Structure 1
């Protein structure tokens, strides 16, 4: 069984990335990759972040503008059309996904569409790089642009309040950002989810929905139902092993007697031993199935045991 370094431990080499997690390479010196997802629907990616745009008879709908390749978004659109950007859709408020919006140089009449919660968070942030939405919704919003359609819907606080599902029905493409990571271990602590039970519920919902292509906002390629099912299987294994570890580990064991009156130290010792048991249980099966398992498995173990104790899933 491979040794998985603990959080903060410096190592010389992480485990190799699984071939199944890799996507098409970027063209040399281009900085981005353009992938057609269906009629006039495209994904832009730098193989770390992902966004989309949809072309219709009078213009272009952009979905997210990640800063790492903000300077290439208009260039990517120009590969397909010379029509102007007329709409921008925000998946959620986080700057790493929409912080490049200002540099799109939008006209005054461009509609920026997002969930009510995203508007609230952006009003609080007062970030000029993330213009406040001009159109918001609480539950569902049907964006009709010429003969193109995007179905926007809110499914609760999984990643953060306001994080929406974006579905292109004709192209059978679903975009949900920071929830599923095709072929990869999820980002640390379930992508810093504010609501871990809500995050689990959203992965299950995505798994049950009918779509053909998933744009996840991150990693090197689009996702499939098999990718979602694999992540859900990992999450369920993690939850099961965390429950076992919580039930079988006793506070106060393996700690110096002199430290037993230090409640913080006592509990830290307990949490660490629970996490060790979880990581050791999952490593034989999962270390070769998800890319970067070794990078974030400790984070997931800590997040899972905390949620089970506090959220009472």
Structure 2
């Protein structure tokens, strides 16, 4: 067993966050950090969630409004311009990224992929209004002299999760897929399609961006961050595949439990995951922030996908 607390066991403390994963600190008086990404394009974050907004001649386009800091988002916009928010782009349907949209005020045009519209219609959540403009594959949002290119690349994190690309500024925002400098959120960011998730990270690397907004954690990303995550994911897949093939079913279980197929299988899966974690830890625990927090989850998600997908 590696010296990492398994799921359900609280460590004295987690591994320290390496400097390469950190961003400038948040001003406690403001509660957010504002970062310019190019002409009229800005990141807003409290170093856990990320949004961006684009200022054009007569208004502002917001991409995502997390409920945790939607009021801060309004303050951040006011630092830059007094123009109204005219459009909001939903990256996808999840509450933690768009549940603060009403805090922006006014009646902006809401834009999303059609699967996001379907999920929000089903949810009937007054804090996540159904978008009035939807698209299937691609949508070009031209506002004054500014442009955002929205595109859908299939299911990975969830249906409807889109790429938002600002071509002039060479900024790409894709939420809950790549986590620059960090271990992905648990179980490959709760990916609903794990093979699709692998494909999508590779597709992100093919976009000609200079700055990547991942929607979470502290700093912006680069192609080097995408390739680091791809390398980790390849190692994860290899380690889980090897563990599945080399772990003997029923070897370390009380004979009295062998008539219980659920117990036999649970014992096998747990030992597969231990081997997967042991394989990855020497190389990766010092390369991705919060490696120790979610490595068990990643190995569970990977071995499950390899068995059933």
- Could you state the TM-score of these two structures normalised by the residue count of structure 1? 0.98
Give structure 2 stretches of 5+ with no counterpart: none
Return the match for 2:138 from 137, 140, 145.
Answer: 140
CA drift of 1:28 comes to 2.6
CA drift of 1:208 comes to 2.0
| Partner secondary structure for residue 307 of structure 1 | helix
Task: Give the aligned length.
Answer: 309
Question: Is contact 2:2-2:277 (8 Å) kept?
Answer: no
Aligned residue in 1 for 2:66 = 66
Question: Is contact 2:155-2:192 (8 Å) kept?
Answer: yes
Aligned residue in 2 for 1:4 = 4
Return the match for 2:249 from 239, 248, 251.
Answer: 251
| Partner secondary structure for residue 194 of structure 1 | coil
Deviation by residue 1:195-215 (Cα, 9 ceiling, x = unmatched): 000000000111122110000
Question: Is contact 1:51-1:63 (8 Å) kept?
Answer: yes
Cα distance in 2 for partners of 1:220, 1:192 equals 20
| Partner secondary structure for residue 192 of structure 2 | coil
Aligned residue in 1 for 2:173 = 175
| Partner secondary structure for residue 29 of structure 1 | coil
Return the match for 1:199 from 189, 197, 200.
Answer: 197
CA drift of 1:58 comes to 0.9
Work out whether 1:34 is the aligned partner of 2:26: no
Aligned residue in 2 for 1:53 = 53
**Two-structure CA RMSD over aligned residues (Å):** 0.9
Cα distance in 2 for partners of 1:151, 1:191 equals 24
CA drift of 1:74 comes to 1.2
Cα distance in 1 for partners of 2:251, 2:168 equals 58
Cα distance in 2 for partners of 1:76, 1:295 equals 31
Cα distance in 2 for partners of 1:208, 1:255 equals 47
Cα distance in 2 for partners of 1:103, 1:19 equals 34
Deviation by residue 1:143-174 (Cα, 9 ceiling, x = unmatched): 00000000000000000000000000000000
Cα distance in 2 for partners of 1:12, 1:246 equals 31
Cα distance in 2 for partners of 1:70, 1:211 equals 26
Give structure 1 stretches of 5+ with no counterpart: none
Work out whether 1:300 is the aligned partner of 2:298: yes
Deviation by residue 1:63-92 (Cα, 9 ceiling, x = unmatched): 000111111111111101111111000000
CA drift of 1:11 comes to 1.5
Cα distance in 2 for partners of 1:243, 1:271 equals 12
Cα distance in 2 for partners of 1:293, 1:266 equals 29
Cα distance in 1 for partners of 2:219, 2:80 equals 20
Cα distance in 1 for partners of 2:274, 2:37 equals 42
Distance 1:123 1:209, change over 3 A: same
Return the match for 1:113 from 111, 114, 118.
Answer: 111
> What is the 5 A alignment of 1:77-156?
77-107=77-107, 110-156=108-154
| Partner secondary structure for residue 271 of structure 2 | helix
Deviation by residue 1:28-83 (Cα, 9 ceiling, x = unmatched): 32100000000000000000000000000110000000111111111111101111
CA drift of 1:2 comes to 5.6
Cα distance in 2 for partners of 1:99, 1:196 equals 25
Aligned residue in 1 for 2:43 = 43
The structure 1 segments of at least 4 consecutive aligned residues displaced by more than 6 Å after TM superposition are none
